[in-house]
């Protein structure tokens, strides 16, 4: 069965090394690498070559896009940091963004909390923060997403690329 696999990180807040390390670890082995903002790196940094990246509220470089919609195979991925959709207070606006893109998956960040949930057909994924986690799961994480014809599986990994199995979630497509 054909599958699409991609890596998602967010909120690295100046930690260039982890972005470079994740890229090095996965480049050529997955179908895409995503960063959901608040890298605090220049938008023309060489590390972004081969990474889909958006602007966070701590990125002042005008070279970043606020939103990206990327198609990998038959999977439509809508990506944004989240602050522009007021996700601290509500999900409605982020949901509208995902709906308007007809997204299978909506990637966001900003909250520094790993989370994955489904609304309608769209699976919303926050990979957590690779550098500054908040909340009860105080582990620096990123996500690896595997999409098949009928499933979307979200696995979380630690900075040393070890599976953090407690957070794995599986959704129907
Ligand atoms: Mn942040």
Tell me which residues have their CB within 5 A of the ion that is ligand 1: 11, 38
Give 84 Cα–ligand 1 centroid separation in angstroms.
13
Taking 70 as the pLDDT cut, the residues of the chain under it are 1
Give 10 Cα–ligand 1 centroid separation in angstroms.
8
Contact 118, 107 (CB under 8 A): no
User: Residue for token digits 């620096």?
Assistant: 140
Contact 94, 107 (CB under 8 A): no
Give 73 Cα–ligand 1 centroid separation in angstroms.
30
Query: pLDDT at position 2, please?
Result: 81
57: CATH: 3.60.21.10
The two three-digit tokens of residue 85, written as one number: 């959709």
pTM comes to: 0.97
Start-to-end Cα distance in the chain: 14
DSSP label at 65? B
Query: pLDDT at position 16, please?
Result: 98
Domains identified in the chain, total number: 1
Query: pLDDT at position 1, please?
Result: 59
Any idea how long the chain is?
A: 173
Residue-number span of the structural domain to which 76 is assigned: 4-172
Q: Could you read off the pLDDT of 99-108 as tens digits, one per residue?
A: 999 999 999 9
Give 57 Cα–ligand 1 centroid separation in angstroms.
7
């Amino acid at each position: 069965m054909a599958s699409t696999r991609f890596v998602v990180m967010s909120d690295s807040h100046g930690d260039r090394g982890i972005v470079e390390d994740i890229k090095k670890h996965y480049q050529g082995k997955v179908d895409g690498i995503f960063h959901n903002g608040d890298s605090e790196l220049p938008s023309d940094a060489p590390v972004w070559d081969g990474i889909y990246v958006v602007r966070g509220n701590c990125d002042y470089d005008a070279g970043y896009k606020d939103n990206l919609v990327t198609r990998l195979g038959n999977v439509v991925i809508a990506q944004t940091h989240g602050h522009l959709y007021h996700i601290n207070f509500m999900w409605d606006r982020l949901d509208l963004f995902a709906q308007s893109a007809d997204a299978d998956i909506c990637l966001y960040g900003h909250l520094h909390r790993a989370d994955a949930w489904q609304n309608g057909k769209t699976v919303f994924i926050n990979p957590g923060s690779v550098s500054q986690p908040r909340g009860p799961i105080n582990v620096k994480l990123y996500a690896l997403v595997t999409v098949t014809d009928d499933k979307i599986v979200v696995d979380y990994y630690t900075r040393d690329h070890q599976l953090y199995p407690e957070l794995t979630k599986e959704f129907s497509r």
